[in-house]
Amino acid sequence: MNKTHRYIFLSLLTAAALILSIIEGMIPLPFIAPGAKLGLSNIVILSVVVIFGFKDALLVVIIRSILLMLVATNPITFIYSISSGIASTIVMSFSCKYLKHFFSLIGISVLGAMAHNTTQITVAAILFTTMNLYYYLPVLSLVSIFTGCFVGYTSIFVTDNLEKTLLKLGREA
C-alpha cells in the first residue's frame, strides 16, 4: 500500500466517521439514559486503530472532531468530543498493542467506551467545577457496555472486510 492509497483510505474513513457522528446525533437513546450515545463513529476509529495504527487513528479523530464542529455542533461540544476521542484512541491503541492476547475487539471497544465516558465526565466536572457529576458515571458505564459490545462486534466485520480489500489492492498494485 503506497502513500496515496493510505491517504485515500484514511480520508474515506474520516468521512464515514463524520457521517456516522452526524447520524448518531439525530438518534439519541433517551429511553436508556440521557446523554448516552451509540458511539457509531467508534466503529471507524477502532478499525483504523487496528489496521493503520495509533498515529493515523489520532489524525482521523482530530479531523473528525473539527469537521463535526464546523458541520453540526458548537465549540463547547467540540471540547468534549475531541478530549474524549483522543483519550479513547489512546486507550484502544494501548490495549490493541499490549493486551491483544487477552481481549478480542469487543473487550478493547468496551475499554475505549469506558475511557470515553470517564473523560467526558471529567471535562464536564472541570467546566462545571463540581465533582458531583461523577455519580452519573456508573449509569453511563452500564450503557457503554452494551454499546461497546455492539461497536466491537461490528468492528470485527469491518476490519475483516477492510483487510481483504487492502490485500486485494496490494496485489493489483
Chain residues that interact with other proteins, rule: CB under 8 A: 25, 28, 30, 34-35, 50, 74, 76-77, 80, 96, 100-107, 110-111, 114, 124, 127-130, 132-135, 137-139, 141-142, 145, 149, 156, 159-160
Separation of alpha carbons 3 and 159, rounded Å: 20
CB 6, min distance to other proteins, A: 20
Q: Which is nearer to other proteins, 3 or 31 (CB)?
A: 31
Separation of alpha carbons 78 and 67, rounded Å: 10
Q: Which of 144, 137, 139 is nearest to 106 (CA)?
A: 144
Q: Which is nearer to other proteins, 32 or 63 (CB)?
A: 32
- C-alpha distances in Å from residue 157, one per residue of 50, 106, 167: 12, 12, 16
CB 122, min distance to other proteins, A: 13
CA 15 to chain centre: 13
Residue 86 C-alpha cell reads as: 483522543
Q: Which is nearer to other proteins, 11 or 165 (CB)?
A: 165
Separation of alpha carbons 123 and 128, rounded Å: 9
CB 132, min distance to other proteins, A: 6
CB 150, min distance to other proteins, A: 12
